[in-house]
Amino acid sequence: MPVEFLNPPSLPQPEHYRQVAVATGSRTVYLAGPVARTADGTPGGPGALAAPGGQAARNGAT
């Protein structure tokens, strides 16, 4: 089963892994754990729990 690994441009661009893996044949999508950073790598609300949690949730909805 072929697998395509992606980093959507609206999410951080990690160097050593990809945010999304899409397996074809029967379409299955695997997502990496959401992180609390914006697409440019800025922390999403350092020093508070609610702000990073909100950024991680927004990243997961992307």
pLDDT at 25 over 70: yes
Residues above pLDDT 90, as percent of the chain: 0
pLDDT band of residue 34 (cuts 50, 70, 90) is low
Environment class of 60 (CB within 10 Å of its CB; exposed 0-12, middle 13-18, buried 19+): middle
Q: What is the pLDDT of residue 40?
A: 82
| Mean pLDDT computed over 29-55 | 69
d(CA 14, CA 16): 6
Average of per-residue pLDDT values in the chain: 76
pLDDT band of residue 47 (cuts 50, 70, 90) is low
